[in-house]
Structure 1
């Protein structure tokens, strides 16, 4: 087994209900990444951040300019992690206000170069493009490294068989999780690596690393 430090994976879930399909998707993605890294003999510590529990703290931060201890802890967990899974329900064809507000209180440079897997849930497949017109641009603006496969789960995807043009949800989860694990696998671990513009891997190299040999 590798003697390197465990990798740290932050998982942000913006689901509002209990139980939540958003949290369910987040858990399945995290477990896939954990399994892929275990196969590569890398240990990973997963921390779940439920934004539902931080809604009031986030609103107060906008009004006062100061985060509560709980919000500060959540922000630190996300910004210091080696990688991030971010999952939101889709409201009005975009990410939820709670999801956007959380990332609004994070410093614009704090996610630079961080590997991110973006995912969303919704009642209908018609909202799946929110991944490309909302979530991916958000993390691109924050200069994160977003894996090629984003995962959207509509109500019919849970237990569905897909169709001739789309993979099933489990296959999409596996592909996206494998892509994130591929970016995390060779990091030093411990969430302590310094990331700046000079250390960001060019996108062509990122894609090359994800291609099967």
Structure 2
């Protein structure tokens, strides 16, 4: 099983990066515990190890802007999109400013190939100064994930500044992470075991058209347009 975490941090040492890493570490620990339990029950069986990767959009910021302005997508962006489309699960983590996730994440998702997250479980995670920002990812990013046919998990992980210093009894951050990871592994392991990967059946046309190496689809092909008389019910 492969989980890819995508962060939109402005620095390598940001709390958003730390939050994404904590989610991945929790997923690894849960996977190892489940594997040990399974081995005790059936020693002859072996589970595949959990593979994780963290990608920071900060390193692709200039290419994102260039792609948005010119409509030409870089090889590096194509590679990141391909990694997400072939992952069993995805973690999106971003800081919140002025009640909205940082624009890097929104820009990246707006350039994402259409339906490119089809059937992939997605954890929404964010950080901010106060709990007043806790619904920002749900309000701004959850609809985009739905449009891309991804499965945004019910539990959203938000970490305010106080969550990093106060006891777990007061913050409940670990419980939120564990709940999100449980949902993630339940859906993601199903894809890894019997799924077919996300590249099958998903369009690769992004906000500016079709990705390189893919046969373009003419949306104005007369053979695919519903006749006007049929639309009017005649």
The answer to whether the superposition gives a TM-score over 0.5 is yes
1:185 is paired with a residue whose SS is helix
Shift of 1:112: 1.4
TM-score, with length taken from structure 2: 0.74
Superposed, which structure 2 residues align to 1:144-159 within 5 Å?
144-159=150-165
CA distance in 2, matches of 1:72, 1:90: 26
Alignment of 1:12 onto 2:6 = yes
Task: State the aligned residue count.
Answer: 189
| Corresponding position of 2:182 | 178
CA distance in 2, matches of 1:185, 1:39: 15
Alignment of 1:37 onto 2:31 = yes
Q: Tell me which of 120, 125, 133 is aligned to 1:119.
A: 125
2:190 is paired with a residue whose SS is coil
Q: Which has the larger radius of gyration?
A: 2
CA distance in 1, matches of 2:113, 2:194: 21
CA distance in 2, matches of 1:191, 1:89: 32
TM-score, with length taken from structure 1: 0.81
- Confirm or deny: 8 A CA contact 1:40 1:185 kept in the other structure: no
- Confirm or deny: 8 A CA contact 1:88 1:99 kept in the other structure: yes
- Confirm or deny: 8 A CA contact 1:80 1:191 kept in the other structure: no
- Confirm or deny: 8 A CA contact 1:93 1:127 kept in the other structure: yes
Runs of 4+ more than 6 Å apart: none
User: What do you get for the CA RMSD once the two structures are aligned?
Assistant: 2.2
Alignment of 1:81 onto 2:87 = yes
2:141 is paired with a residue whose SS is helix
